[in-house]
Structure 1
Amino acid sequence: MTLALLKRQVATREIKPGKSVQKWKVFRDASEAREALGLQSSSLAVLDALLSFYPENELRQEAQLVVFPSNAQLILRAHGMAGATLRRHLALLVEAGLIVRKDSANAKRFARKNNTGEIENAFGFDLSPMLARSEELALIAQKVVCPRSAFRKAKENLTICRRDVRKLISAAMEEGAEGDWVAIEAIYVELVARIPRSPAMGDVAGVLDEMGLLREEIINRLNNQENSQISSTNDAQFERHIQ
């Protein structure tokens, strides 16, 4: 066990009294933070299965947070995952500090109940770390989601800008507007060619800036031509009026 993991386990015993959080909210945050936590999609499937064995919607400090499903039950709820794969992803969840193993003397998972049927002690997987780290997981998720949202927005803006420029150039050519539209179209084609098949944020942002400038330049040219035509028409009408 690493020192960092040991510290996390100790921290789970110091959860603020009365603290609670919706279990699926924490799960969503952990899902967004998957790469930062060193988890895989199958790890999340196992975590989802574990949470499904916790009967309440909220993880509460005063609640019994140990779940004790058998491997067979977990495999069933993890969509038939192989046993070896299940064990590997359980280990990843422990290493990521999202769950803690609470082993019995014979390494079995079970709950010991009192005379009234309430659970006195349970052995299995403790979900307390998810409650203890809920704020931390939310922050990690936010750091992942914000850049992703910005990237998606930038790609959407680039798509719109590309479409605008293409339509403007085509319209200018079809209507015989003054200017070297073949050269302008070549600039457009060169910008599009610079977009990689799998672009990063820097690729998209750079092309978007230049494509936006090109769109602005085209609109200005067309507006100037339109204003010039209006001015020429007005001058001609004025001259006829004088005559």
Structure 2
Amino acid sequence: MQTVTTTPFGRRPVTAGQIESAALAARPAPVPQVDKWEVMKDLSTARAGFGISDRTLAVLNVLVGVHSERMLADGDMLIVYASNATLSARAHGMPESTLRRHLAALVEAGLIARHDSPNGKRYVRRDGDGDAMRAFGFDLRPLLVRACEIALAARAERQRLSVIAARREEVVLLMRDAGKLADYAAGQGTNTDALADRLLLAKRELRRKLDLDTLETLRDALVSLVDKLRETVAVEVEAPVAPTELSACDSQNERHIQEPDKKQSDLKGQGPDLRTVLNRCPDILPYADDGVRTWDDFTRLMARIAPMTGIDLPTWTDACRAMGPIEAAIAVAGIVQRIGMIRSPGAYLRTLAKKARGGAFSVDQMLGQTTRQAA
């Protein structure tokens, strides 16, 4: 089929994009045919690299849909001569002015070529046998010529998106590590306010759609933050604390709480008496097979119950150091009594220990909360 014009109808000037599109339409195709929908799928992935928007791509999808054959084959008639009214209707009522703008963008991007008739109308001229001699409209042949280029661009874009997804995943995991390590360090009495601020800024940054360079910068910053937190936590772990696991022997459990910041002997006779504690925290009594007659019985019992609530040994030991073993045991008893209202007993006890170091923890207030719950 013969093509005789490459310049636009009327007062519209010829542009570099139109000249390039016409040259592409005349260039030999690297492959004899391509599946038009595979080309569209690749172009949808790589559209940013070709300078077109999603709406411009939607107009191209309409043009490709009007073409009757699935394959774009060299030698076939690849010119779409549907009117603007038809194209607008297929584009779900897109205004013709908008349609014309997107068609011009496709021409400038070198994805279609334009062949205008003498009067600007789109039509096909046929011979006596009904074969197309000449057509005026939008030529899809540039898609055939550039199919390999589009496929390569799509592959590169998919690889780029895969790397971005992997980096974003790393950032999310690092944020999780940083958050949990910061909570742990704070529970050990370390001031992590500055680290928490850095983590908050990183979380705000991740809410946006970030490019690869920004994600890698954020990842590097989080790696540094997590390393610093791990060093902080390591210092806390290396500090002299109790044995690494609870023993079934009560005498061993008693020994590991004999050197708190507050001496056990200093706390006997201070605060509520044992009977008051047991009356206000009755949920611990079913665990006391031999009864609770002394504060020593009570602290040993709570050392045994603490792991059942999810309070690990370092947290229990730290509470004993911060409060003294009796107050720590009373705190755990209060937690057991209010277990349905406390999401994380370990984190709650760490918070109480931190308050105790600042002189802000009161066993009377703790027991008062259990009394209000019972009421």
Q: Which residue of 2 aligns with 1:89?
A: 102
Query: 2:120 is aligned with what amino acid?
Result: A
Q: 1-side partners of 2:241 and 2:66: how far apart? A: 75
Shift of 1:5: 4.1
Q: 2-side partners of 1:17 and 1:23: how far apart? A: 15
Gaps of 5+ in 1: 235-239
Q: Does residue 162 of the first structure (1) align with residue 175 of the second (2)? A: yes
> How many percent identity over aligned positions?
33
Decide which of 58, 74, 78 is 1:45's aligned counterpart: 58
Decide which of 177, 187, 199 is 2:195's aligned counterpart: 187
Shift of 1:120: 3.9
Shift of 1:76: 0.7
Query: 2:191 is aligned with what amino acid?
Result: V
State whether residues 21 and 107 of structure 2, in contact with CA within 8 Å, keep that contact through their aligned partners in structure 1: no
Check 1:233–1:200 CA distance in 2 against 1; reply closer, same or farther (3 A cut).
closer
> What's the TM-score once normalised by structure 1's chain length?
0.76
Q: 1-side partners of 2:234 and 2:242: how far apart? A: 12
Shift of 1:200: 4.3
Q: 1-side partners of 2:86 and 2:124: how far apart? A: 15
Q: Which residue of 2 aligns with 1:80?
A: 93
Check 1:189–1:204 CA distance in 2 against 1; reply closer, same or farther (3 A cut).
farther
Match of 2:137, SS state, is strand
My pick for the range that moved more, 165-174 or 98-107, is: 165-174
Q: Which residue of 1 aligns with 2:142?
A: 129
Q: Which residue of 2 aligns with 1:237?
A: none
State whether residues 42 and 150 of structure 2, in contact with CA within 8 Å, keep that contact through their aligned partners in structure 1: yes
Decide which of 152, 163, 169 is 1:150's aligned counterpart: 163
Q: 1-side partners of 2:60 and 2:46: how far apart? A: 13
Q: Which residue of 2 aligns with 1:208?
A: 219
Q: 1-side partners of 2:190 and 2:218: how far apart? A: 20
Match of 1:39, SS state, is coil
Match of 2:92, SS state, is coil
Gaps of 5+ in 2: 1-13, 246-251, 253-375
Q: 2-side partners of 1:135 and 1:18: how far apart? A: 8
Q: 2-side partners of 1:17 and 1:221: how far apart? A: 62
Shift of 1:133: 1.3
Alignment of 1:165-180 (within 5 A): 165-171=178-184, 173-174=186-187, 176=188
Check 1:8–1:233 CA distance in 2 against 1; reply closer, same or farther (3 A cut).
closer
Query: 1:208 is aligned with what amino acid?
Result: R
Q: 2-side partners of 1:83 and 1:233: how far apart? A: 76
My pick for the range that moved more, 30-39 or 128-137, is: 30-39
Query: 2:33 is aligned with what amino acid?
Result: S
Q: 1-side partners of 2:231 and 2:129: how far apart? A: 81
Check 1:215–1:116 CA distance in 2 against 1; reply closer, same or farther (3 A cut).
same
Match of 2:191, SS state, is helix
Shift of 1:191: 3.9
Shift of 1:157: 1.9
Per-residue CA deviation, residues 32-62 of structure 1 (Å, 9 max, x unaligned), is 3433433233211211110001122221112
Per-residue CA deviation, residues 190-238 of structure 1 (Å, 9 max, x unaligned), is 143155363443333223123224335545765787799899669xxxx
Match of 1:85, SS state, is helix
